[in-house]
Structure 1
C-alpha cells in the first residue's frame, strides 16, 4: 500500500485542528480505560484515601447522570472545540425557530461511527447552539455504561451528556417551564455498524420508544439529519449475516456497546489510522412536530405519530440532500 504523507508546510491552525480531533478520538476510545486504571492505581497506592473519598462521592452522586447531568459552560466553551469544529468543519443549520417554552426530543440521524456531529453541536458551543436556539439547553444521551466509570463520568457530563436510560430522558422531557432538549441518536449502537461513506441506511422503522416517551411528556418531536456523518470513516466489510457482523451484534447485545471496525487517516499521513477524514458535516434541525401530552398512549396512537415522524424525517432529507452533496437519485433506506 502506497502511503500518502501530509505535507510539511501545513498551516499551524490545521495542526491545532488535528490535535483537537486526536484528543476527541482518544476520549472516545481510551480515556475511560485510563480513568478506570487511574482509580485503581490510586486505590492501591499510599493515597488510597483519595480513591475512598471519591467512592463515597460516587455513591452520593450516582443518580446525577439520570437527573439532568452536571454541565459546565466553561468546558463547553473551551477553545479546543472550535479547532475540533473547523477540522471537518461542522455546521449547525436551523430551519425554524423553536419556542423555549416547550421541551423537545431531537431525533438525531444517522448515528455514524462516533457521533461527531452530535458531539460537536450539542456537547459544545463551537457551532453556536445557544445563539441559534436561545433559551434551549441540549442534553445528548449516551449509553449508561460510560457513566459508571470513575472520573470519566464527571468529564463527559460537563459537556451535557446524560445517560440514555429511560428515566434520564423522562427527567429531561418532564422538566417544568420548557427549554430542555433530549437529543437521541435513534439508530443507536446497531446503526453504527452500517456507517460508511455513501451509506443512507437508518434503523428507525421498529424503534418507537422515543415516540412513546415524547407522547407521555408532550415533548415536541424534531427530526435532525446530519449530512456527512457517515463520510468520516471507512469500515471493515461486515454485511448482515457475515461472521464479523454476527460477532459484532452478539457483542453489542452482551455489552451494550457496538464495536465497529473502522479506519480512516493518521496524524502525519492520509492512508490509514483512526482519525476521521476532513469531510464537512451539516447538521440540519428540522421543523418540530407538535405532540399533545398522552400519559398512556395506545399502540395505534404511537404508530400514527411514528409514521408522521418518518414522513417529516424523509422530507427533511429530501429537501436538503442536493445542497449538501447527495445526488437526487439517492434516497433514505429505513429499516
Structure 2
C-alpha cells in the first residue's frame, strides 16, 4: 500500500486542529485505561494514600453522575475544543426555538463510531449551543460504566457528561423551572457496529425507554440528526451472522459496550490510522414533539408516541438530506 504523507507546508492552524482531534481520540480510546493504571500504580507504591483518599472521595461522590454531574465551564471552553470543532468542521443547525420554561429530551442520531457530533455540540461551547438555545442547559448521557473509572470520571464530568441511567435522565428532566435538555444517543453501541460511510441504518425499533421516560416527565421530544457522523471512519466488514459480528455482540452484552474495528487516517499521513477523516458534521435539531405528562403510560401509548417520533425523525432527515450531500432517493432504515 502506498502511503500518502501530509505535506510539510500545511498551515499551523490545520496542524493544531489535527492535534486537538488526536488528543480527543486518545481520550476516547485509552485515557480511561491509563487512569486506572495510574490508580493501581499509586496504590501499590509509596503514594498509596492518594488512591486511598480517592476511594473515599468516590464513596462520597458516587451519585454525582446521576444527579446532574459537575460541569466546568473552564474545561468546556478550552481552546483545544475550538480547533476540534474546526477540524471537521462541526455545525449546529436549529429549525425551531425551544421554550426555556420546559424540559426536553433530544434523541441524537446516528451514533457513529466515536459520537463526535454529540460531543462537539453538547460538551464544548464552540458550536453556539447557548446562542441558538438561550436559557437551555444540555446534558449528554453516557454509559454508567465510565463513571466507575478513577480520575477519568472527573474529566468527563467536567465536560458535562452524566450517566445514562434512568435515575440520571429523570433527574435532568424533573427540573421544575425547566431549561434542561437530556441528550441521549439512542442507537447506542449496537448502532456503532453499522457506522460506516453511506450507512443510514438506525437501531431504534426496540428502543422505547426514552419514550416512556419522556411521557412520565412530560418532556418534549426532539429528534436530532447529525449528517456526516457515519462518514468519519471506515470499518472492517462485519455483516450480521458473521463471526466478527457475533463476537462484538457478545462483548456488548457482557460489558454494555463494544468497539467497532474501524480505521481512518493518520496524524502525519492520510492512508491509515485511527484519526477521523476531515468530513463536515452538520447536526440538525428538529422541531419539538409535544408530550403530555403521563405518570403511568400504557404500552399502547408508548408505541403511539414512538411511532410519532419515527415519523418526525424521518421527516427531519428527508427535508435536510439533499443539503448535506445525500441523494434524494436515499432513506433511513429503522432496525
**Range into which the TM-score falls when normalised by the shorter chain:** over 0.9
4+ aligned runs moved over 4 Å, structure 1: none
Measure, in 2, the Cα distance between the counterparts of 1:218 and 1:91: 29
Measure, in 1, the Cα distance between the counterparts of 2:140 and 2:85: 17
How far 1:259 sits from its partner (Å)? Answer: 1.5
- The equivalent residue for 1:3 is 3
Q: TM-score, normalised by structure 2?
A: 0.99
Q: Which runs of 5+ in 1 are unaligned?
A: none
How far 1:30 sits from its partner (Å)? Answer: 0.4
Measure, in 2, the Cα distance between the counterparts of 1:310 and 1:50: 49
Say whether residues 1:218 and 2:214 are aligned partners. no
- The equivalent residue for 2:252 is 252
Measure, in 2, the Cα distance between the counterparts of 1:192 and 1:136: 28
- Give a deviation string over 1:312-333, Cα, whole Å, max 9, x none: 0000000000001101010001
- The equivalent residue for 1:30 is 30
Measure, in 2, the Cα distance between the counterparts of 1:176 and 1:235: 44
Measure, in 1, the Cα distance between the counterparts of 2:15 and 2:295: 51
- The equivalent residue for 2:87 is 87
- The equivalent residue for 2:141 is 141
Q: Which runs of 5+ in 2 are unaligned?
A: none
- The equivalent residue for 1:168 is 168
Supply the RMSD in Å over aligned alpha carbons: 0.6
Q: Secondary structure at the match of 2:324?
A: coil
- The equivalent residue for 1:99 is 99
Measure, in 2, the Cα distance between the counterparts of 1:273 and 1:159: 26
Q: Secondary structure at the match of 2:323?
A: coil
Measure, in 1, the Cα distance between the counterparts of 2:137 and 2:44: 40
Measure, in 1, the Cα distance between the counterparts of 2:331 and 2:228: 15
Matches within 5 A, 1:274-313: 274-313=274-313
Measure, in 2, the Cα distance between the counterparts of 1:90 and 1:270: 20
How far 1:127 sits from its partner (Å)? Answer: 0.3
Matches within 5 A, 1:39-118: 39-118=39-118
Say whether residues 1:267 and 2:259 are aligned partners. no
Measure, in 1, the Cα distance between the counterparts of 2:175 and 2:152: 26
- The equivalent residue for 2:327 is 327
- The equivalent residue for 2:151 is 151
Q: Secondary structure at the match of 1:304?
A: helix
- Give a deviation string over 1:151-176, Cα, whole Å, max 9, x none: 00010011110011111111111121
- Give a deviation string over 1:209-261, Cα, whole Å, max 9, x none: 10000000000000000000000000000000000000000001001111200
How far 1:46 sits from its partner (Å)? Answer: 1.4
